[in-house]
Amino acid sequence: MRKWISFPQKQGTASRQAHADFPEEAIYEREAGRSGFFGPATHFHHQHAPTGWSDWQGPLRPRLFDFNQLKDINPQSPWAVPTLLHNAHCKFRLWDLSEPMQKLARNADGDDLLFIHDGSADLFCDYGHMSLRDGDYLVIPRSTNWRLVPKEPMRILLIEATNGAYQLPDKGLVGNHAIFDPAVLDVPEINDAFKAQYSETSWQIEVKRHNQVSVVTFPYNPLDAVGWHGDLAPVRVNWRDIRPLMSHRYHLPPSAHTTFVADRFVVCTFVPRPIESDPGALKVPFYHNNDDYDEVLFYHAGDYFSRDNIDRGMVTFHPAGFTHGPHPKAFQAGREHKKKFTDEVAVMLDTRDSLSVGDAAAGVENPEYVNSWQEKK
């Protein structure tokens, strides 16, 4: 048995409530916390922005990747797509697909989470048929056979839970139907579209195991199920089905927006919501040291209210070890309560283990991002 050393203390001038009612002489709050907003935390009040560095040398830095500039991410197979960010428990990739897959895919290394950034498709898998559109999350359980038939060109975010599985977060006090009701989760159907693809012609499956691909040939289409029953299947939920937790008096941490949980990481979804209206409440994300987790944000749509000069399809990467938070203009706009509503949609990946950057991602990095917190004179 073990527990955190816990002895809440207070020194100097400090607010009584985190993220609200800051002292006038120190309007910059910084949270130093553990275990991804679930562990002990201390809130500092600073006279200067915690991100007000004037220079940065060395490899640990905030990073911005413009994945709209990626090349060669349009192979037929998802297993041929370059890995952009990765560790032992997670792989983060982007895949462009415009033609029907000619082979089935099977991931024997772990569950896959697909987020449809652009386009739409028909999914055919062991469990049946399902239509996919932009904004859909699709969880594909490990070792499921599947293929996509695009209806229009697609860009797909793939997050692999290497040697792991995706589950739903514990919703605790707010109950099982908060954020999204499990009733909105869709599964594939054994419908007419699925039956129409039964075939006695040869099909191949590309099986990925230990990051190596084997090809298995069948003299028929192995997607030939006539029915199934059980509680394991691919599931779909669209960000438009998510009803975010809100508080008009308190800025909720990113953990309140958790959508999926894996063994060593979580996936969160930021969707449009009202901005806090209480005069004393913080109205932008708080400056924080989340020193146990690396943070990745994939920007899907809208206006990213805590960032400057970020376009859809870009990705920010804030490794553990330094304070990060809103850009200066966003912080000031929050103080003035200029915006009453956020219209952003973003996918966040928080990993307990440090991520490495792949060559393809490094090739589209904006090295000036580290300077974007500096006040413009």
CATH superfamily name and code, 28-65+242-371:
Jelly Rolls (2.60.120.10)
Count of residues in the chain: 377
Judge if 28-65+242-371 and 74-239 fold alike in CATH terms. Answer: yes
pLDDT in tens, 298-333: 999 998 766 777 999 999 999 999 988 988 888 888
Annotation: binding site for Fe cation: 288, 294, 324
Annotation: binding site for homogentisate: 324
Every domain of the chain and the residues it spans: 28-65+242-371, 74-239
pLDDT in tens, 208-228: 999 999 999 999 999 999 999
Residue in 19, 43, 251, 318 annotated catalytic: 251
Q: Is 326 left (phi over 0), alpha (psi -120 to 50) or beta?
A: beta
C-alpha distances out from residue 359 to 82, 90, 96, 151, 363, Å: 8, 17, 18, 31, 6
93, 237, 72, 76: which is closest to 147 by C-alpha?
76
Strand pairing class (28-33; 287-290) = parallel
More confident residue, 207 or 22: 207
Contact 231, 185 (CB under 8 A): no
Q: Is 211 left (phi over 0), alpha (psi -120 to 50) or beta?
A: left
Contact 179, 279 (CB under 8 A): no
Domain covering 74-239, topology: Jelly Rolls (2.60.120)
266, 211, 259, 258: which is closest to 235 by C-alpha?
259
More confident residue, 369 or 289: 369
More confident residue, 118 or 11: 118
Can you tell me the distance from the alpha carbon of 102 to that of 97, in angstroms, rounded to the nearest whole number?
Answer: 12
C-alpha distances out from residue 331 to 47, 128, 237, Å: 14, 48, 32
Structure tokens at 169: 């977060």
Structure tokens at 27: 């309007």
| pTM exceeds 0.85 for this model | yes
Can you tell me the distance from the alpha carbon of 303 to that of 305, in angstroms, rounded to the nearest whole number?
Answer: 6
| Predicted pLDDT of residue 190 | 98
361 HSE (CA, 13 A, CB side): 24
Active site residue 251: yes
Annotation: binding site: 288, 294, 324
pLDDT in tens, 71-123: 999 999 999 999 999 999 999 999 999 999 999 999 999 999 999 999 999 99
